[in-house]
Chains A and B, each alone.
Chain A
Amino acid sequence: MSERVTVRKTYKLYIGGKFPRSESGRSYLVQSGENSTANVALASRKDARDAVLAARAAGSGWAGATAYNRGQILYRAAEMLEGRREQFVALGIPGDEVDAATDRWVWYAGWSDKLPQVRGGVNPVAGPYFNLSTPEPTGVVAVVAPAAPALLGLVSVIAPAIVSGNTVVVAASPTDPLAAVTLAEVLATADLPAGVVNILTGRLQETVPSLAGHRDVNALDLAGVADAELATSLEVKAAENLKRVLRPVPANYDWYANPGLARMTALLETKTVWHPKGG
C-alpha cells in the first residue's frame, strides 16, 4: 500500500471571521515544521484596511457584550487551544509553550469581569454627586506580534487587548506566521464574534505603517518591532491621531513571566460619570 497523500493546508488571512487570501493575490514561502514548507498570504495595505474595517464593525458589539460573556468566550478559546495542542506541536511549537499559551488565555479570560472592579470605582467627590469611574476599551488596536515565542507571544498580546472589549488587527510574526493562522482557526471555533481578532501575515514594513497611520485605529502595540528606527517612525505616525502607543518589548523580555495588568490597562480609557444626588 502506498503511503497516504496528505491534505495540505492553505494558510490564509483572518479578517472579519473569514479566511480570505490576500487581495493582492500574493503569498510567500515559510518553513512549516521540520520538513515542509507552506505558502502564506502576503498581506497588502488594502488587506490591512479591510481588517481595520472589520475590527471597527465588530467593536460596539464586542465592547457591549457583558463581561461575563467575553470571559466565557476567552475561556472557550483556551478550551479549543488545549484540544489542538498537537496541531501546534506539529508546527514546531514546543508543548510547554502551547501549555503556557493556553494557561494565559485562561488567566486573561478571568479578568473580563474583574478589571472594571480593580480599575474603577466610586470617587468620593466633595459634593452631592454620584461619581463613578469605569474602564472602557480604547477601540481598534493594531498589534505587532512578537517574533518569538510565536504562540505564547501572540496570545500574550491579543488576549489583554480583547478581554476588555477592544478589537484587534494583528500583524503576525513574518518569519513564523503559521502559529498565528492556526490560532485564528482556534478563535474561529471559540464563538469569538467575527472581526474581534483579525490576523495579517506578511511583511511588517508593508502593513504596519498603514495601520500606524490609519485614522480609525485607536492604539498601536509595537511589541514585536525590533527595529528601533521603524518603531520610532511608527510612533511618529501614530501621533497623527494620538493613538495610544505601547512601545516595543525588549528582546530579553520573559514572556513566561506573570504579565501583570499593564498590557490590559494600557488599552483602556477611563470614563467618569457624574450625577447629582437629590430627592
Chain B
Amino acid sequence: MSARSDLTELGRSETALRAFLHGLPGVDQVGAEQRAAQLGTRSIKATAKAWAIDLAIRMVDLTTLEGADTPGKVRALAAKALRPDPADPSCPHVGAVCVYPSMVPYVAEVLRQPAGGAGPADAQAAPAGTGLVHLASVATAFPSGQAPLEIKLADTRAAVAAGADEIDMVINRSAFLTGRYQEVYDEIVAIREACGPAHLKVILETGELSTYDNVRRASWLAMLAGADFIKTSTGKVPAAATPPVTLVMLEAVRDFRAATGRQVGVKPAGGIKTTKDAIKYLVLVNETVGADWLDPDWFRFGASSLLNDLLMQRTKLTTGEYAGPDYFTRD
C-alpha cells in the first residue's frame, strides 16, 4: 500500500490513478461469495439479536424515491423515522430519511422542528437513540447520473440549501466502465465541494459495475476523491446490495483506513427487506471491519420495507409472540 502522501497525489494524474486502481489485489468471485455465505450462517439469538435489531433500526436510511412522492407522503415517512414504533417509546429512531431534492423541505419541516415544538424531533427530547435523524437527499441526476456536471452540482447545492445534511450521489458509470477514472474522480471531488458541510455518500451502482474487481476499484476511487460513505446501489437497477458486494466494500474501507487513517462509512441499499438480512450484514461488518463500524455514523441500510420487519421482530423478542403487519404503520 502506498504511503499517505502518495495517495493524495493520485488524483492529479489519470496514469497514476489507473495504475493504482489496476494494481489493487483482485477479488476471487467464488471465494468472496463463499466467505459472505459462511458469515450468513452465524446464529444470532436472544440478547445478541435484540442488540442487533436496535442497532439496525438506528442504521436505517428510511427511503422513498418515487416519481409519485408527495409532501404528504414524505412528511409521514419523516414522522415514522422519528418514532418508528409509536407504541413503544424505547424504540430508537432511524438513521436518516432519504428523499429526492424536491422533497427535502417537507422532510425538514418534520425533522427540524425547533425544540419544544409540537413534534418529537428535538434532539434532546428524542425518544431513544442519540443525535438527530439525518436528512439525506439523492442528487446528481439520480439514478442514472447521465447529466452535465453543472446540473449535478446545481442539484447538489439545491438539496443542501433545502436542508439536506447528507448527499447520496451516483458515480458516472459510463466514464468508469470506459476507464475514464480521472473524470469520475474529478466529478466526485466537485460534488464533494458543492456539498459544503453535508456528508457525501457515493453510490457505486455495483449492479452495473458487474464484477467485484470493479467494485473494489470504484470503492477506492470514491474514497480517494473524498467520499464520506460508499454506497452500493440506487435501488433502481435489478441487482442491488448483496452480502459479497458489501464484503468487498468493507474490505476496501478497512484497507483505506489502514493506508490513510481516514474512516469511511458503508451503505448497502436495495433489496434488504428482512431482519434476518440486516443481521447478516451486521455480522459481515463485525467480522470484517469490527466494532468501529458498528455505528450509524459508519454503516447504514438504504431501505424502506426493512424497518417494519425490524419492528415486528423487535416486538416478538419483547412479547414472545409473533407480530402482524397490521400493528405497524405503513406510510
Give chain A's interface residues, CB within 8 Å of chain B. 127-129, 276-279
Contact indicator A276/B31 (Cβ below 8 Å): yes
Q: How far is the CA of A277 from the CA of B33 in the complex (A)?
A: 12
The 6 closest A-B pairs by CB, nearest first: A278-B29, A276-B30, A278-B30, A128-B30, A279-B211, A279-B29
- Residues of B near A278 (CB, < 8 A) are 28-30, 33
Instruction: Provide 15 A-B residue pairs closer than 8 Å at the C-beta atoms, listed in order of the A residue.
Output: A127-B30, A128-B30, A129-B30, A276-B28, A276-B29, A276-B30, A276-B31, A277-B30, A278-B28, A278-B29, A278-B30, A278-B33, A279-B29, A279-B210, A279-B211
Interface size on B, residues (CB 8 A): 7
10 further contact pairs, Cβ within 8 A, besides A279-B210, A279-B211: A127-B30, A128-B30, A129-B30, A276-B28, A276-B29, A276-B30, A277-B30, A278-B28, A278-B29, A279-B29
Q: How far is the CA of A211 from the CA of B31 in the complex (A)?
A: 46
Among B28, B30, B31, B33, the one with the most A-chain Cβ atoms within 10 Å of its Cβ is B30
Q: How far is the CA of A128 from the CA of B29 in the complex (A)?
A: 10
Among A127, A277, A278, the one with the most B-chain Cβ atoms within 10 Å of its Cβ is A278
Q: How far is the CA of A270 from the CA of B28 in the complex (A)?
A: 27
- Residues of A near B211 (CB, < 8 A) are 279
Give chain B's interface residues, CB within 8 Å of chain A. 28-31, 33, 210-211
The count of A-to-B residue pairs whose CB atoms sit within 8 angstroms is 15
- Residues of A near B31 (CB, < 8 A) are 276
Q: Measured between C-beta atoms, what is the minimum distance from A127 to chain B in Å?
A: 8
Q: Measured between C-beta atoms, what is the minimum distance from B278 to chain A in Å?
A: 27
Q: How far is the CA of A253 from the CA of B29 in the complex (A)?
A: 55
- Residues of A near B29 (CB, < 8 A) are 276, 278-279
The chain B residue sitting closest to A277, CB to CB, is B30
The chain B residue sitting closest to A276, CB to CB, is B30
The chain A residue sitting closest to B29, CB to CB, is A278
The chain A residue sitting closest to B213, CB to CB, is A279
- Residues of B near A279 (CB, < 8 A) are 29, 210-211
The chain B residue sitting closest to A278, CB to CB, is B29
Q: How far is the CA of A128 from the CA of B32 in the complex (A)?
A: 12
The chain B residue sitting closest to A128, CB to CB, is B30
Q: How far is the CA of A279 from the CA of B210 in the complex (A)?
A: 9
Q: Measured between C-beta atoms, what is the minimum distance from A128 to chain B in Å?
A: 5
Q: Measured between C-beta atoms, what is the minimum distance from A79 to chain B in Å?
A: 50
Q: Measured between C-beta atoms, what is the minimum distance from A132 to chain B in Å?
A: 16
